[in-house]
Structure 1
Amino acid sequence: MEDLLRPLYQERTSQQNTLGVLAIQKNEQNRAFTENFDSILLIIVKEAEEAVFIKHYVDWNEETASMYIVTEAQLKEWLLLGTNRKVIEWLYHGRILFDRNEYVQELKTEMRDFPFYGRKIKMTIEFAKLIKRYTDGKAFFNDAHFLDAYNHVMHSLHHLARLSVIENGFYPELTVWNQVRHIEPGIYKLYEELLTSDENLQKRLELLFLASEFLIHSRTERGADHLLTLMKEKEWWSISELLKHEEVMHYAVDIVTLMEYLIDRQLVHVVSVQTKGQGIFHRHYQVKKD
């Protein structure tokens, strides 16, 4: 692997723009981990014209490599939002070939220790996705669209699993169910029963909605803490003000459903503000006072 990779990254290590270089070798048990390439070369740079640049290589021995050049800003966005878990796994498990001022080592330490702020915002991102999927799944179930309900429930369980992992201070890996199996067997059991139960689909979904209700409700305040804490900065918020907030933007796509759920749980109150029109009010939102 070294003979193939060294010429690809060596020149870049002398450039101040290069922050770090990692190598990831194929896993015979799971070749998809490296996208079926023999090796992956992950190069982190301060700035670039493209946030992500990819090149593929093959040598005379038919060894293949995929080179990813990723900007620092893009990598940090993926780390925060969890939207490219494969690259995050490469960063976590990759072997450091070059590290300017221990930049990569510090990133790895941060992932392992998982700072509290990172947990808070990631938990609300996952919780918002969980509530959206769960709510939509229940609506499909009530309309007897059981296959659509099943699809949404599967996604909601996955977000619940990731939320549980984050809550326990770990970074969610690609094999999140293997993590959950040890961290919170109850959630793993729900997932297993949804997949393998002998009950018909309608009954399986019915039982799962009943069983998962408590698991979701018991996590509401922790799961929504990032949003609830932020909302205490003002007396009340309009939905447009929340959507424009630079941190809320990370889960803005799911915030309307999340807000309705928090109102239902009486953690957020609706405040009616008079408009110029007679009998018409703006609907603003306020966190319940302690």
Structure 2
Amino acid sequence: MEDLLRPLYQERTSQQNTLGVLVAERIEQNNAFTENFDSILLIIVHEAEEAVFTKHYVDCNEKTASMYIVTENQLKEWLLLGTNRKVIEWLYHGRILFDRNEYVHELKIEMREFPFYGRKIKMTIEFAKLIKRYTDGKAFFKDGHYLDAYNHVMHSLHHLARLSIIENGYYPELTVWNQVHHIEPEIYKLYEELLTSDEDLKKRLELLFLASEFLIHSRTEKGADHLLFLMKEKEWWSINELLNHREVMHYSVDLVTLMEYLIERQLVRVVSVQTKGQGVFHRYYQLHKES
């Protein structure tokens, strides 16, 4: 396999733009790890015309390889938002073939140590997704749309699992339920019961909403800490100011639902300010003093 890979990356190692090269190889029990290719070649560059460039190769022995050239900015965005977990897995588990000024080595150390601020923003991203899915699931359940409720609940449990993993200082892997099984068996048990219980769907959902309520509520302050901390910057905020904050923008799509949940939990309060129209008020948001 090395004979196939070496010509693909060797020329690039002499270019100052290339920061690192890694290879991730097929795992027999998990072909999905390398997208069913024998090898993944991950090349990290400082900048490029395309943030991600991909090519596929095969040699005379039918060995296959997929090459990804990824810019530093794109990789950091994925690491922050967790939106391309396969690449994060390749970076975490991949073998270093070239490393300029120990760039990849330091990146791997950072992933293992998982800096506290990185955890905070990732936890709030996951918590916002969790609250959106959970809230929508309950609404579908109330309206009798049980299959739609089931779909949203499954997603909410997945975000709860990822939140738990991040809270414990780890990066969520592709096999997230295997991680959770060891880190927080209680969440794994909820997932297992939703899938395998003999109860009818309505009853399964009822039981899950009851059981997961505490697990979600008990994580509210930690889960929303990134947003609550940022809100200390001003006395009160309009929703537009929050939506356009450079860090809040990472979870802005779920922000409105999250804000309503935080109001319900009495961590955020609504401030009404008179508009020019009689009896119409602007709605602003501020932290409860004890927050």
* 1:87 equivalent in structure 2: 87
Q: Which amino acid aligns with 2:147?
A: L
* 1:230 equivalent in structure 2: 230
Equivalents in 1 of 2:144, 2:277: separation in Å?
A: 41
- Any idea what the Cα deviations from partners look like across 1:112-132, whole Å, max 9, x if unmatched? 110000000000000000000
Gaps of 5+ in 1: none
SS in 1 for 2:215: helix
Once the 2 structures are TM-superposed, how far is the Cα of residue 8 of structure 1 from its aligned partner?
Answer: 0.2
- Any idea what the Cα deviations from partners look like across 1:48-88, whole Å, max 9, x if unmatched? 00000001111111111100000000000000000000000
Once the 2 structures are TM-superposed, how far is the Cα of residue 98 of structure 1 from its aligned partner?
Answer: 0.2
SS in 1 for 2:16: coil
Once the 2 structures are TM-superposed, how far is the Cα of residue 32 of structure 1 from its aligned partner?
Answer: 1.5
- Any idea what the Cα deviations from partners look like across 1:88-147, whole Å, max 9, x if unmatched? 000000000000011001111111110000000000000000000000000000001000
Equivalents in 2 of 1:23, 1:148: separation in Å?
A: 40
Larger mean CA deviation between 269-278 and 71-80 belongs to 269-278
Number of equivalent positions: 290
* 2:51 equivalent in structure 1: 51
- Is residue 2:28 matched to residue 1:20? no
SS in 1 for 2:28: coil
* 2:272 equivalent in structure 1: 272
* 2:173 equivalent in structure 1: 173
- Any idea what the Cα deviations from partners look like across 1:194-245, whole Å, max 9, x if unmatched? 0000000000000000000000000000000000000010000000000110
* 1:201 equivalent in structure 2: 201
Equivalents in 1 of 2:13, 2:23: separation in Å?
A: 14
**RMSD value, Cα:** 0.6
* 2:130 equivalent in structure 1: 130
- Give the alignment of 1:204-223 within 5 angstroms: 204-223=204-223
- Give the alignment of 1:245-256 within 5 angstroms: 245-256=245-256
SS in 1 for 2:20: strand
* 1:257 equivalent in structure 2: 257
Once the 2 structures are TM-superposed, how far is the Cα of residue 167 of structure 1 from its aligned partner?
Answer: 0.5
TM-score (normalised: structure 1): 0.99
Equivalents in 2 of 1:184, 1:5: separation in Å?
A: 40
SS in 2 for 1:232: helix
- Any idea what the Cα deviations from partners look like across 1:253-290, whole Å, max 9, x if unmatched? 00000000000000000011111111111100001112
Question: What is the percentage of aligned positions where both structures have the same residue?
Answer: 87
Q: Which amino acid aligns with 2:26?
A: K
Larger mean CA deviation between 40-49 and 271-280 belongs to 271-280
- Any idea what the Cα deviations from partners look like across 1:132-166, whole Å, max 9, x if unmatched? 00000000000010000000000000000000000
- Is residue 2:235 matched to residue 1:240? no
Q: Which amino acid aligns with 1:117?
A: Y
Q: Which amino acid aligns with 1:19?
A: L
Equivalents in 1 of 2:63, 2:168: separation in Å?
A: 40
Q: Which amino acid aligns with 1:4?
A: L
* 1:98 equivalent in structure 2: 98
4+ residue segments displaced more than 6 Å: none
Larger mean CA deviation between 120-129 and 32-41 belongs to 32-41
Q: Which amino acid aligns with 2:249?
A: M
- Any idea what the Cα deviations from partners look like across 1:6-34, whole Å, max 9, x if unmatched? 00000000000000000011111111111
Equivalents in 1 of 2:32, 2:262: separation in Å?
A: 39
Equivalents in 2 of 1:286, 1:237: separation in Å?
A: 6
Equivalents in 1 of 2:286, 2:46: separation in Å?
A: 40
Larger mean CA deviation between 53-62 and 198-207 belongs to 53-62
Q: Which amino acid aligns with 1:271?
A: V
- Is residue 2:181 matched to residue 1:186? no
Equivalents in 1 of 2:143, 2:33: separation in Å?
A: 39
Equivalents in 1 of 2:76, 2:268: separation in Å?
A: 31
